[in-house]
Amino acid sequence: MCTMATLVSRAVRAERVRGDLDVLSRAGLDLATFLTEANESLVRAMPAASTCIATMDPSTAMLTGHRKWGDMLGADSLDWEWCLMEYGSPEPTSFQHLARAQRPTESVHRSTGGEIERSARLGTLMGPAFGYVDEARVVFREGSRPWGAMALFRGSDDPAFDTVDLDLLATISTSLARGVRSALLCSMAARAGAVPRGPAVLVLDSRDRVVQASAGAEARLAEMRTARLSIDDDPMWLIGCLVAAARRFARGDSDAPARSRVRSADGTWLVIHAAALSGVADRAGEVVVTIEEARPAEVIGLIVAAFGLTAREREVTELVLQGLDTKEIAARLFLSAYTVQDHLKSVFEKADVRSRRELMSRIYFDQYLPRRDAEIGTDGFYS
C-alpha cells in the first residue's frame, strides 16, 4: 500500500513530466530527438524494464515506425509475430482500439483482472520472451487524430501499472501527439531531382512468406529501412502489420483499411497498401502489398493536419490550395469575407507563413516543389 509520502512524491514527479513534455512538444525538435527525450522524461516518473514508441498514420492508426529502449533494444526477431497478433486479432489494449477509445490508455493487468494469460500478446509472446508481467499503453491523440503510441513493460520484480500510472499516461497523450505532429513538419523535404518510379509489389502467401516481388521492390524496402527511427529497424515488420490488417479487413472483422503513409530515405512520401487476394487451393490466403510514391492529394491532407488546424481552418486551406480567392471561399463556406480572413490569419500563424503564396509553397515543397516544372498527368501525379 502506498503511503501518503509516496503518493505525494509520485504526484510531484508526474507534474514535472507533464511540464517537461509540454515544453518538449513545442520546442520544434526532430522526431528522433523528441521521442528520446520524451521517453527519458517519462521513465524517470514511471520506471519500466523496456519501452517502445511508435509513430502512426493519423488517418488509419497503422504504425509507420518504432523505436525501442531497455530490454527489447536490438531484439527484433519477434517483430513479425507481434505484428500478426497486434493487427490480426487485436485485444482491448491494441493500439487501434485505444486510438478510438474514450480513454487512450490501458494496461494488460488491469484489462484482464490480473489474468495476463488472457492476452495472447503478453501471455504467449512478450511474457515468455522477456519475462514481462504487465504492459501499459497510451496512444498519442490530439482531438480524434492518433499520431503515435507507446508501450511500457514491467517484469516480475516490479509492481503492475496502477491507476496513477494510467492517469499520468492519459494526461500526456496530447503533448506526445503534438510533439510527433510538430516533428513531422521538421523532417527533411524530398530531395530535388528525385525521380518518380512505378509501384513496387510484394505477394505473400498464407504462411507470410514473400513468394513474388516486382522489380524495384527490394530497393524500396532498402530506402524505407534507412529512413526508420531505429538503425536496425527492418521495414518488413511494417509490412507484417499491413498484411495482418488486410486479412482482418477481408474477413469483415475490421473496417480499417490496411494502408499507411511513410517516408523513404530521400524524404519522399510513400503509400503502402495491402489487400487479401481471393485465391483458390494452394493460393488461398495470399496478400498483395503495393508500395508507391504518394500522389499530392494523399500527402497534402497529412501535412495540413500536422499544422494543427481546426476543421474550419482546414476547409479554408483546402480551398486556398484550389486557387479560390477570399470572396469565393466565403461563398463556398457561407461565411463573411472578414471571417475567412480571420481564419487565414490563424492558418498563417500556425504554418509560420505570411501569405497564401508562402502557404502553398510550405505545403507543396515538402514533397513536390523539387519537381515543380514537371507535368501533372491524368492520374493527378507528376509525370
| Topology, domain 4-186 | Beta-Lactamase (3.30.450)
- In this predicted structure, the answer to whether residue 367 has a pLDDT above a threshold of 60 is no
Q: Count Cα atoms within 13 angstroms, Cβ side, for 34.
A: 28
Confidence of residue 379 (pLDDT cuts 50, 70, 90): very low
- What is the pLDDT, as a whole number, of residue 78? 87
| Topology, domain 200-294 | Beta-Lactamase (3.30.450)
- What is the pLDDT, as a whole number, of residue 240? 93
Confidence of residue 281 (pLDDT cuts 50, 70, 90): low
Average pLDDT on 285-295 reads 90
Confidence of residue 371 (pLDDT cuts 50, 70, 90): very low
Average pLDDT on 241-267 reads 88
- From the list 37, 43, 14, the residue with the least C-alpha distance to 25 is 37
DSSP string over 41-95: HHHHHS--SEEEEEEE-TTT--EEEEEEEETTTT--TTHHHHHHHHHHS--TTSH
- What is the pLDDT, as a whole number, of residue 7? 76
Confidence of residue 55 (pLDDT cuts 50, 70, 90): very high
Please state, in angstroms and rounded to a whole number, the distance separating the CA atoms of residues 98 and 147: 12
Within the chain, all domains assigned CATH 1.10.10.10 are found at: 298-371
Confidence of residue 257 (pLDDT cuts 50, 70, 90): confident
Write out pLDDT tens, residues 68-112: 999 887 777 888 999 999 998 889 999 999 999 999 999 999 999
Q: Strand, coil or helix: what is 18? A: helix
- What is the pLDDT, as a whole number, of residue 226? 60
- In this predicted structure, the answer to whether residue 364 has a pLDDT above a threshold of 80 is no
Within the chain, all domains assigned CATH 3.30.450.20 are found at: 200-294
Q: To the nearest whole number, what is the mean pLDDT of the chain?
A: 86
- What is the pLDDT, as a whole number, of residue 227? 59
Within the chain, all domains assigned CATH 3.30.450.40 are found at: 4-186
- In this predicted structure, the answer to whether residue 383 has a pLDDT above a threshold of 90 is no
Confidence of residue 299 (pLDDT cuts 50, 70, 90): confident
Q: Give the whole-number percent of the chain exceeding pLDDT 90.
A: 57
Write out pLDDT tens, residues 179-224: 999 988 776 455 544 555 678 999 999 999 999 999 889 888 887 8
| Topology, domain 298-371 | Arc Repressor Mutant, subunit A (1.10.10)
- What is the pLDDT, as a whole number, of residue 373? 45
- What is the pLDDT, as a whole number, of residue 223? 79
Confidence of residue 294 (pLDDT cuts 50, 70, 90): confident
- What is the pLDDT, as a whole number, of residue 194? 53
- What is the pLDDT, as a whole number, of residue 167? 96
Find how far residue 248's CA is from the centre of its chain: 20
The grid coordinates listed for 333 are: 463556406
- What is the pLDDT, as a whole number, of residue 228? 59
Find how far residue 316's CA is from the centre of its chain: 25
Write out pLDDT tens, residues 151-185: 999 999 999 999 999 999 999 999 999 999 998 87
User: Nearest 5°: phi and psi at 205?
Assistant: -85, -175
What sign has the CA pseudo-torsion 306, 310, 313, 314?
A: positive
Confidence of residue 360 (pLDDT cuts 50, 70, 90): confident
The grid coordinates listed for 305 are: 493536419
- What is the pLDDT, as a whole number, of residue 68? 92
Q: Give the whole-number percent of the chain exceeding pLDDT 70.
A: 88
- From the list 164, 161, 136, 133, the residue with the least C-alpha distance to 149 is 136
Please state, in angstroms and rounded to a whole number, the distance separating the CA atoms of residues 199 and 87: 24
Please state, in angstroms and rounded to a whole number, the distance separating the CA atoms of residues 345 and 374: 31
